[in-house]
Amino acid sequence: MKILIDNSNLVAGGGIQVAISFLKDLITLAHDDQYIVVQSHYIANAINKEDFPTNFSFYNLDKETDKSKSKKIKFLKNFENKVSPDIIFTVFGPSYHKSNFPKVVGFAIPYIIYPESPFLKNISLKEKIYYKSLDVLKTYCFKKYSDALIFETDNAREVFVKKKNYKKATYTVSNTLNEVFYNKQNWKKIDIPQLDLTNANILCLTANYAHKNLAIIPKVIDALQKIDQDFKFKFYITLEQQDINFPEEYNSYIVFIGKIELSNIPSLYQQMNIIFIPTLLEVFSATYLEAMYMGKPIVASDMPFSRDICKDNALYCAPLKGEEYAKAIYNLKKDKTLEKILVKKGLENVKNFGTSMDRTLSYLDIFKKTLYASNKK
C-alpha cells in the first residue's frame, strides 16, 4: 500500500505526539508499504528523517506555504495527484479540500461536539460567534472531505454522528499512554520544591488555556479552608506563576513548578497524592490515563469526555463549583479506603486503552477497510 500521511496541519501538543508515535510504530512493524509524509515545519523540527528506512519519504512545507491555507490546499491537491497514493491519512483534521483518493481523517475538536460546555457558555458574544463560525466551517469540511473519521472516544463519535448527521464510516481508536511510562529506565527523578509528604499534594498537570478551568483553584482553596482550617495541602501546577497571576493570598497554597520534561513526568506523579483535572472542554486527555497508570486517584470535572474515559475510577464534581472539588479532595485525603478503591479501578480501566502499537494497528486496519470500500464503489 502507498500511504500518504498528511501532518501538514499539526502545530503543537498532543497531535504532534500522536503523529510521531505513529511513525515510530511503522518503523517497528517493518512493513514493505510506502509511506509518504507531508508535514508542517512544526513537526519537521521534532523528527529526524535519518531514523527512518528507505520506504519513508518526507516533504516539509516551507513556512510561506505553511502559513497560508489557500497555498497549503493547492500544494496538497497537486502533491496528491502527483504521488497517487492508495490512501490518505490526515492524522487530525479537518482536511480542507476534496481529494481524488480515499481519505481517512482524525477528529479532535471538542467545541464542535460539546457546545454545552460551561467554557463556551461563559465566553463573550464575540467569542461565541467565532467558535460557532469555526464549528460550521470545520464540520462542513469533516463531512465533505473525508471518507472515514477516527475519533478518540466512543462518546465523541456518537455525539458527532448524531448532532452532525454524519453518514460515512466512523471508528473509535483511543489515545494511549506515551511510551516513556512503559520504560522505567528512562524515568528521571525530579526534585519538587516545598514538598511535604504528610500534606495533600495535588497535581494539576496542564497547559495554560482558558478551557482548562484553572481559575477555579482559588475557589477550591477557599472551600478547603472552610471545611477544615487545619487541613494541610498544596497545589502543584506545571506553569510559571506569571502565567496565571492568582491573588497573592493564595501563593502559600500553590507551587508553580513550570514546564516539565516528559522523562520527569512519572516521577512527578509518584510524589503526588491526588490528580486534579477540572478541564471544561476536551475530546481526550492523556492525563487521565497517566494518573490511572501511576496509581493516583483523580478529581475531575463532571463532563461527558471525563466520564467516558475514567468510568467509575474518578470523583466527579460540578465543573464550576469549587466547594465540590474541595469536598472531593478532602474526602480522598481522609478516606484511604476510598483512595484504594479508585486506584484499583483506575489500574484496571487503563488496561482497556492499549498501547501506541495497538492504535497504529487499528489505523492500518481502518485504511484497509476504507480502501476496500472505495474500490467497491
CATH code at 233?
3.40.50.2000
Residue-wise pLDDT for 219-240, tens only, equals 999 999 999 999 999 999 999 9
Write down the pLDDT at residue 41. Answer: 83
- What is the CB neighbour count within 10 angstroms for residue 339? 18
Nearest CA to 38 among 10, 69, 68?
A: 10
Q: Which of 60-64, 89-93, 107-111 has the lowest mean pLDDT?
A: 60-64
* 10: region left, alpha or beta (phi > 0 left; psi from -120 to 50 alpha): beta
Q: Tell me the residue range of the domain where 40 lies.
A: 2-176+355-376
Same domain, 54 and 92: yes
What is the chain's mean pLDDT, rounded? 95
What contacts 164, CB < 8 A, 6 or more positions away? 112, 139, 142, 143
Same domain, 348 and 359: no
Write down the pLDDT at residue 375. Answer: 84
Specify the pTM.
0.91
User: Which residue reads 465540590 in cell numbers?
Assistant: 324
Same domain, 120 and 219: no
Strand-pair category, 169-172 with 148-151: parallel
pLDDT band at 148 (very low <50, low <70, confident <90, very high): very high
Amino acid identity of residue 226, one-letter, is K
What are the distances in angstroms from CA 360 to CA 18, 29, 145, 208?
Answer: 10, 10, 22, 30
Same domain, 170 and 197: no
Report how many domains make up the chain. 2
Same domain, 329 and 189: yes
- What is the CB neighbour count within 10 angstroms for residue 8? 25
Q: Is the pLDDT of residue 13 over 80?
A: no
Same domain, 114 and 217: no
Same domain, 150 and 58: yes
Same domain, 220 and 327: yes
Same domain, 369 and 336: no
Exposure string (b/e) for 214-231, b if CB count within 10 Å is 16 or more?
bebbbebbebbeeeeeee
Residues 84-95 have a mean pLDDT of: 97
Residue-wise pLDDT for 279-328, tens only, equals 999 999 999 999 999 999 999 999 999 999 999 999 999 999 999 999 99
Same domain, 339 and 363: no
Same domain, 310 and 186: yes
Write down the pLDDT at residue 63. Answer: 84
Same domain, 242 and 340: yes
